[in-house]
Every structure is written in structure tokens, then in C-alpha cells.
Amino acid sequence: MINILSKSSTKPQLPEDGVLRVYSMRFCPFSQRVHLILDAKKIPHHKIYIDLIDKPEWYKDYSPLGKVPALQLTDVKDQPTLVESMIIAEFLDEQYPELRLFPSDPLHKAQDKILIERFAPVVNAVYPVLTCNANAPKDALTNFETALDAFEQELAKRGTPYFAGQTIGIVDYMIWPWFERFPSLKLTTEHKYELDAKRFGLLLKWRDLVAQDEAVRKTALDAQLHADFQGSKRLGKPQYDIAFKA
């Protein structure tokens, strides 16, 4: 049974086995980023799920701002905790180098990190619609598509199946969680929104390819679950556990 830890929950009693501990929320795309890296690299870890509306008081000891994800390094002195998905991803890539996800070349690494940062306008534009906000700007989806154009163009420029090249890499994993959620718009918007197949042909082909990745399949939730969760969240009663019930 999976427990979602809330304000009334006591701190979980986990074995002192040196295994990483990941504090997350199943529907959080930033948490999914970290789970993708852990699963891609096959790194053992304990999962602890947090109720983000009614967070446990003790969680501030691990994430002072109360955000997820947080990664506790139990095999390090004083067991420090890292926060912010990109910081955690880069740390894991350096600590577990058997499967490198960031480019080894410093310039290419910097350029990929810049590209990931450029995804923020995509997320910011679509977020109100994705979360079923009744006050979403009327031009939200137009702005979303304009921001997403840059990634269609980047794939064309790179000329490879993945942003990382012939195999999946850090850019692919870091932007994937939102592409997993975009199909839920067909279920939650009045006009059943979908990405335009002509405008975003390369990205849609990329999406189908990435969806087959082992780590992606392991962390994936379907569009209906994402839509159901956002609907519950809009009503003020987010059902954090519906992913596990499914």
C-alpha cells in the first residue's frame, strides 16, 4: 500500500541502508524528471510521496520551501538533501556515470542546459490550461504553440531522432513529463485540443519514440489519469492516490 504523507503523518521509518530517498508527488512533472533519471540509470531508491496541499511539518527538514522533488543522500555524512530537479539530475549524472545523459563536451552540455531552460515559456504558457484553470488566458494555447515552435525547429536543426542524438539523453528526459501531459488537453478542453500534426510533426514523431523508452514507460501515467487528477485539484480536493489505485 502506498501512503501519501500529510500534516498528520509521522516521519517514515526507513532502513539505514545507504539507499537514496526520493520525496516526490506522483503527478508532479518535476518529480517525474528525477524518477526518469533514477530509472534510466537503474539506481536503487526509496520513494516517499508528499501531500503538497497539506504537507507534513517535518518535511521542511528536507525541503525548506516544501517543494518536491527532494533527494536525500543517506550514504553521505549528515545525510544532506538536494532539491530542484535539474540540480538533482546533474548530480545523479555525475555520481552514476555508467550511463551518461548530459553531453561530455562542456559547450554541448551548456547548450543543452540552455535549451532545457528555454522550455520554461512552453510550460508557463500552457500551465493554466493544463491545470484546468477557469481563468486561463484566452491566448494561452496560442502562446504555448509559439513557444513550442522553437523545439520543433531545434529537432529539425539537429536532424536526429532524439534531442540528444541517436540515443535518448538529458534534454529528452527533462522535457518529456510535459509531453506526457499534453494529450490530457484533448479530454479537458472544450474543443478537444491536440498538437497540430503538420506544425509539430517532428515533435510528435519524437514523442512516440520517447514513449517507448524503458524508463519513460516505468514512470508513465495515461492522459485520463492526468485529466482526472487535474479535475480533482481544480475542485480543491487533489486525489494524489488515484495513480496508485489505477
Length of the chain: 246
Angle subtended by helix axes 201-210 and 140-158, to nearest 10: 80
Distance from C-alpha of 138 to C-alpha of 6, rounded to nearest angstrom: 35
Give the active site residue among 28, 38, 92, 132: 28
Q: What angle do CA 168, 171, 173 make, to 5 degrees?
A: 65
Does residue 28 have an active-site annotation? yes
Distance from C-alpha of 164 to C-alpha of 154, rounded to nearest angstrom: 11
Q: Give the dihedral sign, CA 162/164/167/168.
A: negative
94 φ, ψ to 5°?
-80, -35
Catalytic positions, please?
28
